[in-house]
A and B are shown apart, each in its own frame.
Chain A
């Protein structure tokens, strides 16, 4: 995705879409758009998280959060997700150095860590299902599955995006793509940061017994 360049006026077939694009601020369009999208995404998660907090402790039927939440297991999966952010940072650093080998390694591991997190989440969802917590059981079930499900969808799309870059790097041209990787990274970090808030609101709040 690129813009209609305002300035660049060049002949020939040597254009490998790497020509410098005009931008008023000097920041690439893609980056500005991603930041704007993340602002919008904050409101998406803000709405989900607010709904969870407002409905906290208002479920009329069991199972209640304290009965099903497994804090140690989710702490482990949260740790994995946060470490994937570190790997993402290494990925961006590698592509900025034009170090394609390291780039492939780190982006692959970022995907793997994302997948591990998703694995934990499917395990948790299955476990809750067996303990009788469904989306229609009570308010906890509705809010929990909708919020963490939306987050999981974000992670899954992020993994798909990263994996696409990993595969692309074997047959495609990675020159000039550092900005794209950086934008992908912005998204990935955001999804991780949101998880910190969700983890606090769902799990830690239960652990310290607020409102329980």
Chain B
């Protein structure tokens, strides 16, 4: 039974030493906090990503509500000036980097290995590393609230607003260094998921048999790999300017602040697709399941996603039409921006084709998925309006833009992600997310969202600028702003209901069973929650929607023949790496003030990181053997 590959005998090599040079013991906790801190199980890591992301979405939401209180009435002085700047900067930064991206990451972690029939990701410890470095970066960037003020140069951080001459505090240092730390986490995770999807698919799962969510995941991760380097270098240049007086964005020394805008949007526009492609994948899973039809035009959806990813790198300057780039550049980016609407439209029609003539079940995942199509379409239409540079000049930096990207990111991304939570909640917890509270929560979300953001189109076209902390009554924005602020609280309340529902269902929800939705993909073929090793027997894939096909043709899931399953062991080192990164980042912030002390702190952080890298390398992945016919190993 054991298919052990014999090691080629190599007497010339080093003597046979068992576990040479382990720097410390391995973790042994199987329950409690330490088992979570040291886990390398993709499912537990996914859950932690989700919990952290939802926490930060609440935090970013509170920041938004505080701004809406300020803007509810004209000439208000609840939060003014720099504090308001800190609010919108941290709202944007939090929602994008600490909310939506980690929430997509939670789905990558939990769902992708299950959908491709793998026991874990390619590098389980690196996966834990990504989580802890993300947590380190997220905590670090929010420490700024208590250490002299949060970042205040908007989520785009344009110099000279973020240059040290005009922004003397450490606000922007926390922002720049924090984003680099978060970038390390994202790139590490992307390397992992790219390798996982390329290499860890179950036998027979060819590329064109992969679920659409897996496709969108690999495209997203390629985008992260290629888009994060430009912003990382730009942030490094900004840090060089701020800390060592370099000339990159200093006009007095010949530097060009516009360069920052280019680097930022070379990253920033692909980032938009990094945020929206995973929800598109989620919606492509939900719609066929709840329409009881196969996905309409699977290859077109896949290739459209890939084309969107490719074109995502060719449209960045449409964020900069008003900077005076010249006619040729404006025209070129106008055209590419119009082109990118085509594959997006193709996807929308394919989703509609999926629903058409289907036997629809209007449960919460489906409601959110339909909301995604409708709301994302509206955001997409206003996006096409921006591609026409002449009209964009009127809309630039107004609330019209704010309305546009919130339709894409809340109506689109968050809708899709909440739908994904409803869809996979039974798989993760073993219980159905209750409909009684879920449906009202959805409708409150839907109406609260539209009431908050649709009027922003109107005040925006009437000229209300974004990122300004107040307005005069004479401008005629009063009524709409009061309405928007009130609606924002309705939207916030819908999230509260959603979270209450999650908690209630976790305790009292209906037991789900393996396959509550009559699903199509491999994750529904295993127990809910899945055992630690996911699949007792590695599935062999013969079709797209393989599990559906097997159910239709009456093929039972293969039974375990008692073969033991090899799993890697937990590790302390990913967590220690995160601590090291945190200390290193803290030191770097204060290089400008206390060169020696800050350098020492940075070096200590680096040494902690280095120690954990060596400990990590020396301990090896380890191995334990689980018997699928016993309950051992399944901790959920």
Contacts and interface: CB of A to CB of B under 8 A. Distances in A.
A47 interface: yes
A161 to B, nearest CB: 10
A24 B625 contact: no
B326 to A, nearest CB: 16
Given A54-B259, A59-B254, A135 B194 contact: no
Nearest to B610: A160
Interface residues of A, number: 67
A102 B124 CA distance: 34
B563 A9 contact: yes
B621 interface: yes
18 contacts: A1-B617, A4-B118, A6-B119, A8-B4, A17-B620, A19-B4, A33-B122, A36-B190, A40-B225, A41-B229, A46-B230, A55-B254, A98-B12, A100-B14, A136-B245, A171-B17, A175-B8, A176-B7
Nearest to B113: A4
A136 B249 CA distance: 12
A78 interface: no
B194 to A, nearest CB: 5
B160 to A, nearest CB: 16
Interface string A4-17: 11111111101111
A11 B614 CA distance: 28
A2 to B, nearest CB: 4
Specify the main secondary structure of chain B where it touches its partner. loop
A168 B614 CA distance: 11
Contacts of A32: 122, 194-195, 198-199
A146 B263 contact: no
A166 B569 CA distance: 27
B254 A135 contact: no
Contact of A1 (B10, B126, B187, B248): B126
Q: What 5 pairs between A and B have smallest CB-CB spacing?
A: A43-B229, A136-B245, A4-B120, A10-B2, A142-B246
A1 B225 CA distance: 20
B199 to A, nearest CB: 5
B12 A100 contact: yes
A32 B200 CA distance: 12
Interface in A57-109: 58-61, 98-101
A208 interface: no
A1 B194 contact: no
B192 A142 contact: no
B200 A23 contact: yes
A7 B227 CA distance: 35
B124 A3 contact: yes
B230 A146 contact: no
B163 to A, nearest CB: 13
Nearest to A136: B245
Given A23-B200, A51-B233, A4 B566 contact: yes
A209 interface: no
A139 interface: yes
B191 interface: yes
B247 A142 contact: yes
Given A10-B3, A139-B253, A33 B123 contact: yes
Contacts of B229: 40-41, 43-44, 46-47
Interface in B210-254: 225-230, 232-234, 236-237, 240-241, 244-248, 253-254
A43 B5 contact: no
B246 A146 contact: yes
A98 B1 contact: no
B191 A58 contact: no
A40 B566 contact: no
B234 A98 contact: no
B123 A1 contact: yes
A7 B123 contact: no
Interface in B37-93: none
B225 A9 contact: no
Interface in B83-136: 118-126
A169 interface: yes
Given A1-B621, A33-B194, A24 B123 contact: no
B199 A138 contact: no
Given A3-B123, A8-B3, A10-B2, 20 more contacts: A1-B125, A2-B620, A3-B121, A5-B119, A5-B566, A15-B566, A19-B566, A22-B200, A24-B199, A24-B203, A33-B122, A39-B226, A43-B225, A43-B227, A47-B230, A51-B233, A55-B255, A138-B253, A146-B246, A171-B14
Contact of B7 (A5, A16, A27, A51): A16
Interface of A: 1-12, 14-20, 22-25, 27, 29, 32-33, 36-37, 39-41, 43-44, 46-48, 51, 54-55, 58-61, 98-101, 135-136, 138-139, 141-143, 146, 150, 164, 168-176
B538 interface: yes
A141 B246 CA distance: 8
Given A4-B118, A51-B259, A136-B247, A60 B5 contact: no
Nearest to A43: B229
Nearest to B538: A6
Contacts of A173: 13-17, 20
Given A4-B120, A47-B234, A18 B7 contact: yes
A101 B14 CA distance: 10
Most chain A beta carbons < 10 A, residue from B118, B199, B621 = B199
Interface in B143-173: none
Contacts of B195: 29, 32-33, 36
A22 B118 CA distance: 10
A196 B237 CA distance: 23
B248 A36 contact: no
A47 B246 contact: no
Contact of A135 (B3, B201, B245): B245
B27 interface: no
Contacts of A175: 7-8, 10, 13-14
B568 A4 contact: yes
Contact of A100 (B13, B187, B256): B13
Nearest to A10: B2
Contacts of B1: 9
A51 B620 CA distance: 40
Nearest to A32: B195
A134 B567 CA distance: 53
B254 A58 contact: yes
Interface centre among A6, A47, A101, A170 (most CB of B within 10 A): A6
Contact of A51 (B198, B237, B563): B237
Contact of A171 (B20, B118, B623, B625): B20
